[in-house]
Amino acid sequence: MIYSSSSVLKSCGIKVYYSILILFIVVLFSSFLFLNPNKIYGDDQKAFYNDKIDISAESAVILNYDTGDILWEKNSSSPMYPASTTKILSSIIAIENINDFDQVVEILKNASGRNHSAFRFRTGDRISLMDLCKASLICSHNNATIALAEYVSGSVEDFVELMNKKAEEIGAENSFFKNTNGLDDEFPDHRSTAIDMAIIASYCMENEIFKEIVNTREDTILKNDQEIEITNTNNLLDYDFIKGVKTGYTNNAGYCIVLYSEKNDLRLITVILNSISLKERDKDALKLLNWTYGNLKYVKIIDSHQAAATTTIKDKAELNLDLYPESDYVELININDDQIEIKQNSYSDINLPVEKEDILGTIDIFINGQKIKELNMISRESVEDAYVYQQLSSDRELRMRFIIVIILVFYFLAIVFIIIRNLFIKKMI
């Protein structure tokens, strides 16, 4: 085929046009990304439940502490200012790098001053490492975290590197910490997310020293051998099922709180970021906790001690054999809403002999139409021969009948004896 020069030029012109158009779109999109470095493209992580819960906070999440499952969330992957909840991470880094908590250290110049905290540090003040941890986590002392950072790493900058490394290591991958205490006026890039803070808090609560400190309502620390009474900024510790973790506030961050709670065998990490007031923050947190503990319960869906199905085996003679789940199955469900369905599937080609613990079928468990678990069904006994099995079953049944008859006869004779005795007594009178 022969092409004219004009058609070739026209074809080339069209290709050049589309190439320029594609290049323009790529450049425009790249510029958009560059101008929005904190934006996360993609949906928030999927929560198990999407019930409408009206809270004032801009971002929140409820995490199952034991499984890591997100039970409920609101903008949980959005970058937020974490304020003093930052001290959760800085404190655990310090705790993991301290060998002697009774060691007394001197406050250096960089950690001196009040810095929006409850009491002032002066250069040369002497305080134990344990009391610095308590000051950081209980009364949220900003300079206590600086003193801890300088003890552990020699500088705040090196310590912050440890913080970011730890965050990434434990799965808090959308956080970027710039300091030890969460003050953000001079650190606009100091960001985290609700789900990241929940992940960090879950990790920290595995440490017994950390766990004890954040569950302390009031304590006394020593600075220069003088007692200082400190009170936890977390008022919700007054509820006995709430056992930590940390509050936070800055103008940029709003009112924040991270909570650990235990109730009805369900352990939770709850995070509230950027609530509009202290009152609304606590109200938001309690609303989420009340919804969770009021609706979600651990339920034993499958009991391995109860027969799940009976299968018929035809081999010389027909016999019925009970099949049992190989294990219990417990699941966290919404007791007011979730629909549970159980399907038993016995194998059709079962032949004798059957050994104890042989797998003879399966159980499928569905919640709200979605299959969430499959268990094996097993025999709890060995069966060598159908005739023998049936004879044994018949013998057991006959023995049971005989025992029942004996018991009935005994009670009948006892009643007759009592009646005759009473009549005899009346006749004597």
Q: How far apart are CA 18 and CA 379, in angstroms?
A: 69
The answer to whether residue 347 is domain-embedded is yes
Q: Of the spans 41-45, 152-156, 307-311, 411-415, which averages the highest pLDDT?
A: 152-156
Q: What are phi and psi of 309, to 5 degrees?
A: -160, 160
pLDDT interval class at 397 (50, 70, 90): low
Residues 212, 349, single domain; the answer is: no
Residues 265, 344, single domain; the answer is: no
Q: What is the dihedral sign for C-alpha 223, 187, 247, 88? A: negative
The answer to whether residue 44 is domain-embedded is no
Last residue of a domain, one of 229, 264, 295: 295
pTM (2 decimals)? Answer: 0.75
Q: By mean pLDDT, which of 76-90, 328-342, 379-393 is the weakest?
A: 379-393
Residues 208, 136, single domain; the answer is: yes
Share of the chain above pLDDT 90, in %: 66
Residues 278, 315, single domain; the answer is: no
Write down the pLDDT at residue 193: 97
pLDDT digits (tens, 9 = 90+) for 7-59: 433 444 444 344 434 433 433 333 333 333 332 323 345 788 888 999 999 99
Domain harbouring 323, CATH code: 2.60.410.10
User: Average pLDDT of 117-123?
Assistant: 90
The answer to whether residue 10 is domain-embedded is no
Tokens matching residue 2: 């022969």
Residues 202, 351, single domain; the answer is: no
Identify which has the larger pLDDT, 39 or 244. 244
Residues 225, 353, single domain; the answer is: no
The answer to whether residue 198 is domain-embedded is yes
pLDDT digits (tens, 9 = 90+) for 250-307: 999 999 999 999 999 999 999 999 999 999 999 999 999 999 999 999 999 999 999 9
pLDDT interval class at 4 (50, 70, 90): very low
The answer to whether residue 46 is domain-embedded is no
Share of the chain above pLDDT 70, in %: 85
pLDDT interval class at 105 (50, 70, 90): very high
Last residue of a domain, one of 268, 295, 322: 295
Q: Are 132 and 147 in contact (CB under 8 A)?
A: yes
Question: Does the structure show a pLDDT above 50 at 396?
Answer: yes
Residues 223, 76, single domain; the answer is: yes
Question: Does the structure show a pLDDT above 70 at 92?
Answer: yes
Residues 326, 257, single domain; the answer is: no
User: Average pLDDT of 104-116?
Assistant: 90
Question: Does the structure show a pLDDT above 60 at 402?
Answer: yes
Residues 145, 71, single domain; the answer is: yes
Q: How far apart are CA 48 and CA 333, in angstroms?
A: 10
Last residue of a domain, one of 295, 320, 335: 295
Question: Does the structure show a pLDDT above 80 at 315?
Answer: no
Domain harbouring 78, CATH code: 3.40.710.10
pLDDT digits (tens, 9 = 90+) for 60-69: 999 999 999 9
Residues 337, 229, single domain; the answer is: no
pLDDT digits (tens, 9 = 90+) for 170-222: 999 999 999 999 999 999 999 999 999 999 999 999 999 999 999 999 999 99
The answer to whether residue 94 is domain-embedded is yes
Please report where in the chains the tokens 């869906």 appear, as a residue. 301
Q: How far apart are CA 140 and CA 156, in angstroms?
A: 17
Residues 212, 240, single domain; the answer is: yes
Please report where in the chains the tokens 């960001």 appear, as a residue. 191
Q: Are 204 and 92 in contact (CB under 8 A)?
A: yes
User: Average pLDDT of 303-316?
Assistant: 84
Write down the pLDDT at residue 141: 95
- Give the domain extent around 333: 303-379
Tokens matching residue 189: 């890039």
Residues 225, 192, single domain; the answer is: yes
Beta bridge partners of 344: 363
Q: How many domains does the chain have?
A: 2
pLDDT interval class at 405 (50, 70, 90): confident
The average confidence (pLDDT) of the chain is 86
Write down the pLDDT at residue 316: 61
